[in-house]
Structure 1
Amino acid sequence: MKTLLLIFLLAPVFYFSQQDANGWYYVGSGVDGTKTYIKNLEQKNSDTFNAWIKMVLPPKKNRKGITIAGGYTLQYWTAYCSETEYSVSDTALYNSKGTPIETFDRSYEGIKKVIPDSVAEGITTIMYDTGKMIQN
């Protein structure tokens, strides 16, 4: 129980200590090396939070062994914490030099359930826990 309490008390300290020069906070890395960041977390109501999510893709080698630089994706997320759901309304894809490749509206996909042990679970947990810490 003490360990769990310690983790919840240190989570916001870790979260806010990982800010880069542009205001992005490091959330974590996926198995494939994709790094996830969060920015502009805001509370919409008592258990709904909005934030920009940035996923930085690592460089990969193609079939010929040539390394291809990664890019990144920006998405606007809404986390519905009491329902364990989320939605993504806007997405923008960028190449490794920061040049936009494509932008599109994903609001038509609607609200989705958070899958356990997924990147979405990690992101929504950070949004909810940090949002509640800021609120108090």
Structure 2
Amino acid sequence: MREGVSVVPIPATREAQRSRGFDHGASLAQAVAEYLHAPCARLLEPPCAKDQRELTRGERFANMEAAFSLQGVDCDFHIRNVILVDDVFTTGATLFAAAATLRAAGVEHVRCATFARVY
């Protein structure tokens, strides 16, 4: 794996974390990071958005607009290459919003990995 790549999970909403008792996305990202011998960096706060399961494609993109913020990042932020990990790809709204937040913070290259695709 190229040096300087960090694996970043899409965090579950706080409600989903409470319901499940854990953050399944963080668990997936940690497994990917271990496999790649790369650090796992929890850079994103849980999204401020409503559940998307019943939303249309357009509603999902609107729902995720500005839904993410960074956590624990200071002015010495230096991560430039990220593999963004999510469990399911439906419309891409979540990945687009998270990637935009990371790019705004200075991440140069964002690649995405998901484990399922819903049509």
Alignment TM-score > 0.5, same fold: no
Q: Which has the higher strand share?
A: 1
From the CA coordinates, give the structure whose radius of gyration is larger: 1
Provide TM-score, normalisation by structure 2.
0.29
Provide TM-score, normalisation by structure 1.
0.27
